[in-house]
Homo-oligomer: A and B are copies of this chain.
Amino acid sequence: MSTDTANRIHIEKATTSKISQVDFNNLMFGRVFTDHMFVCDFKDGKWQKPQIMPYQAMTIEPSARVFHYGQAVFEGMKAYKDEDGKTFLFRPQQNFERINKSSARMAIPEFPQNYFFEGLEALLKLDNEWIKPGVGSSLYLRPFVIATEPAISASPANEYRFMIICSPAKAYYNEPVRVLIAEKYSRSADGGVGFAKAAGNYGAQFFPTSLAQKKGFQQIIWTDASTHDYLEEAGTMNIFFRINDKLITAPTNDRILDGVTRKSVIQLAEDLGIDCEVRQITVKEIKEAAKDGSLKEIFGAGTAAVISPVSAFEHAGDVFEITAADKSYAQLFKSTLLNIQHNLSEDKHGWRHEIK
């Protein structure tokens, strides 16, 4: 870290590390956190001096606006380590730009680019031992912003806290998921906040998803709220359909998250010579394709799961099983992405960001 950065961030190191207590072979997602966290408060109209401190609980007023009005946004990113011990982020500029887009929609002040990157870099150096090499292993990074001002008037807060916490993640099992296509519940409205990683978008999905799970489906593919005719996204993943050899995914709009993995898959499809159409796709179209056998694959794309194959979907009481394609696009995109992320293949688009 340059002296300049060291001056900009106040660093208090943990006196001992918790790392020896962690079983890296049995990690549940998002439950174990590293030794340090990044904290930067907004008050008096500006972001104050950033701090890195030992990971710890914080003190917050019960009247903090985040508790009452959900004024909060987040990002999901991963750090990877190659066999030589070099550490990389994947397209972090995308996450930086998106958290500020989310913040703007939620009336949260934008966060400075230098603080974001210097915070990540300083954290990843301090907690570098927590990033395990090996394809599939990673350190999940959770930048988030919450409204902390202690006043329950229903208006944008004057005080915020930006934080980054880090949680080691193991390889996701590649078990295919069964999904239900939404017919009644909705994730977001035109003119709403669906495109943003706003906290409330996620909590709002828990109940419909729990109903789906009771029926044996792990996730929901959301449809447009007006007609439920158009397939949109899966809430924590964007969604791709393969009909014969063509890939189709919905265009982003103000209801659909502009996923980093989604746009990487679209670019990789072009690189690999796979025809990928970004267009509206209807429930009717995929049901017909499932019936006539032209629907070869469905998969989700997102930072946490990377690529998540779908083995079945349900709609209006009809269940369609999808037999794994011979030369699976899902597998191809997953291995291509992981190889780039772990510095095992060429990075022609400059997506890797090395932490030096």
Contacts and interface: CB of A to CB of B under 8 A. Distances in A.
Contacts of A337: none
Contact of A69 (B28, B71, B206, B226): B206
Contacts of A316: none
Nearest to A206: B107
Given A30-B152, A206-B107, A225 B192 contact: yes
A184 B192 CA distance: 9
Interface stretch (A53-61, A326-334, A342-350): A53-61
A191 interface: yes
Number of copies: 2
Contacts of A68: 72, 74, 142, 144, 199, 202
Q: How many residues of A sit at the interface, in one of the four size bands?
A: 35 or more
A146 interface: yes
Interface in A197-244: 198-207, 209-210, 225-226, 228, 235-236
Nearest to A145: B67
Contacts of A85: none
A193 B182 contact: no
A202 B30 contact: no
Quick one: which of A63, A67, A146, A203 has the most chain B CB within 10 A?
Answer: A203
A117 interface: no
Contacts of A57: 59-62
A104 B67 CA distance: 17
A307 interface: no
Given A189-B189, A190-B225, A191-B225, A200 B204 contact: yes
A33 B230 CA distance: 47
Q: Which of A150, A156, A167, A189 has the most CB of B within 10 A?
A: A189
Nearest to A183: B191
A256 B228 CA distance: 20
A165 interface: yes
A324 interface: no
Interface of A: 28-31, 33, 37, 55, 57-63, 65-72, 74, 104-107, 142, 144, 146-147, 150-156, 163, 165, 167, 182, 184-193, 198-207, 209-210, 225-226, 228, 235-236
19 contacts: A28-B153, A31-B63, A33-B62, A58-B61, A58-B62, A60-B60, A68-B199, A70-B70, A70-B72, A70-B201, A72-B203, A152-B165, A182-B191, A188-B192, A189-B192, A190-B226, A193-B204, A200-B200, A225-B226
Given A57-B59, A59-B59, 19 more contacts: A30-B153, A31-B150, A57-B62, A58-B60, A67-B72, A68-B142, A69-B199, A69-B206, A70-B202, A72-B203, A106-B203, A107-B210, A152-B165, A154-B205, A155-B209, A187-B192, A188-B189, A198-B200, A199-B200
**In the A-B complex, the 8 residue pairs with the closest CB atoms:** A200-B200, A70-B200, A189-B189, A70-B199, A189-B225, A186-B191, A30-B152, A71-B203
